[in-house]
Structure 1
Amino acid sequence: MTEIANQDTSLTAVERSMGNRDIAEGAARTAVLKRRYNASVDDVWDAITTPDRINRFFLPVSGDFQVGGSYAFEGQASGEILACDAPHLLRLQWTPPGDRGYSDQVEIRLTADGPDATWLELEHASVADVFRNDPDTGCYGVGTGWEGPLHYLGEYLRGTLPDAPSTEWYTFDEAEELRLANFRGWEWAKIEAEHGGR
């Protein structure tokens, strides 16, 4: 097995942007992450919609996996599956744990780039203030938070992750995660400044 690449290899692979769109909760801001994977669109789609595969690079997930069904990531968000148009579009209601009084929306769009490559675009939309990035105060938005899972998706598609649930091989390294969050946070802070809260 090839060694798992350090997350630094993904820092320049992600295209970051912000935008606006309406969701069920109202007028929302969005953080958009886009990156290219060397895998077919069908393989990427299967990886992000099959519970046993999701569990290899992200978190354990359970639920009723059809439009109108619900899902829950262990220790993370839960919600309803709003749209599922294989192999191009997955839209989820994204409700953080605890009673925050709102739900976000996460949409993943896949576009084939030839037979063996895929562009993945993940858009996280929210009416809440979940986008601010200020590494000086340790404040990191949702865009920063999605970069790790997208890195490990790439490693999973390359075949470098162990064939086991992520809870069995991933070890949280606080210092390393803080270093990465600082880099990503500054990149997102620049994007937020360019977007200007529009």
Structure 2
Amino acid sequence: MKDLLEELTAVERTVRDGEVPAGPAKVVLLTRTYPAAAEDVWDALTDPGRLARWFLPVSGDLELGGRFQVEGNAGGVVRECEAPRRLVVTWEMGPAGPADTSLVEVRLTEDGASTRLELEHRAQVPPEMWDEFGPGAVGVGWDGGLLGLALHLAGEEMGLSPDEVAADPAVREFNTRAARAWGEAQLTAGDDAALVEANVAATTGFYVPPAEG
């Protein structure tokens, strides 16, 4: 099994301001390289059978213009699709989330036998949510996704239920360190240190609640 904390350091994190069709937005960007061909990474990102093994079950139509639903999570529409290089989808939370306020874009760049993946989530986050959690509320979730993809591409899937994954000590430590890593990205972006500490604490509390018993 891969060292989860080592996998955490393989990701570069960036926080900045940006835009979505509805107007100004917050942007989190995760970048990492996988030792796999772009076609294989693309297939893992777009094939429902493979997505269910490392991410979550996804139903619907993953073709251009199609609507999809991630089980227990967001739904959306495939806005742009340039296989095997670029995918843009709306990311709508709830039964009637607005489609023009949240976009996820994935870009793949092949470099020899490896592929550089950039995952950019641009969203109009409610101000009260951003003030409390900062980028970690969104970012830590995507960290978990990129970890799952790394394990999948290496043939090392955890084989646990979502509840078992959340309770696993190694995953709890991974999420704790991921929250801190997003705090460091905030500091690089120029955020106030006291605000960053509060955001990191809130994000850690959300992803790593006190163990039962």
Fold-level similarity (TM above 0.5): yes
Task: State the Cα deviation string for residues 44-92 of structure 1 (Å, max 9, x = none).
Answer: 0111011101111000001112121101000000011111100110111
Gaps of 5+ in 1: none
Whether the 8 Å CA contact 2:57–2:71 is kept in 1: the answer is: yes
Give the structure 2 partner of residue 183 of structure 1.
Answer: 177
For residues 176 and 41 of structure 1, what CA distance do their matches in structure 2 show? 29
Task: State the Cα deviation string for residues 95-125 of structure 1 (Å, max 9, x = none).
Answer: 12366667411100000011x2100000011
Identical columns (%): 34
The alpha-carbon distance between structure 1 residues 183 and 26, as it changes in their structure 2 partners (threshold 3 A), is same
Whether the 8 Å CA contact 2:166–2:172 is kept in 1: the answer is: no
- What amino acid is aligned across from residue 140 of structure 2 in structure 1? T
Give the structure 1 partner of residue 141 of structure 2.
Answer: 145
Task: State the Cα deviation string for residues 116-170 of structure 1 (Å, max 9, x = none).
Answer: 21000000111114656769xxx942111111110110111111227x7x75996
TM-score normalised over the length of structure 2: 0.78
SS, match of residue 53 in structure 1? helix
TM-score normalised over the length of structure 1: 0.83
Given candidates 168, 173, 195, the residue that maps to 2:167 is 173
Gaps of 5+ in 2: 192-213
Pick 1 or 2: higher relative contact order, CA cutoff 8 A, min separation 6.
1
Give the structure 2 partner of residue 74 of structure 1.
Answer: 71
SS, match of residue 177 in structure 2? helix
Going by fraction, where is helix more abundant, 1 or 2? 2
**1:94 equivalenced with 2:112 (yes/no):** no
Instruction: Please provide the CA RMSD for this pair.
Output: 2.7
